[in-house]
Amino acid sequence: MYKIITINAMIKIFFIIILIFLLLCKYLVSYIKILYKKNFIKYYFNYNNISAKYKLNKIYEIIINFNSNSTLNKIVK
């Protein structure tokens, strides 16, 4: 009887760990999609086609546009 209880507890803990892991993966994927929509990943990891000056300008634009409610973005527009 004691072994059956511990096996059931282990199965419950295992499923809880799997659910937590899946939730973390879901949030990580959604964060990466947001960064990809903001073109941060496209410009930051594409070293071959973009010169350093253009790449820095794009990163500055992305940082300015990332916070859409900032006063700096309103001044730029």
Q: What is the 3-state secondary structure (H, E, C) of 8-76?
A: HHHHHHHHHHHHHHHHHHHHHHHHHHHHHHCCHHHHHCCCCCCCHHHHHHHHHHHHHHHCCCCHHHHHH
**Confidence check: pLDDT of 7 > 70:** yes
pLDDT tens across 11-62, in order? 888 889 988 888 888 777 777 777 666 666 555 555 555 555 566 666 666 6
Greater pLDDT, 14 or 66: 14
Domain ranges of the chain: 1-37, 38-77
62 vs 70, more confident? 62
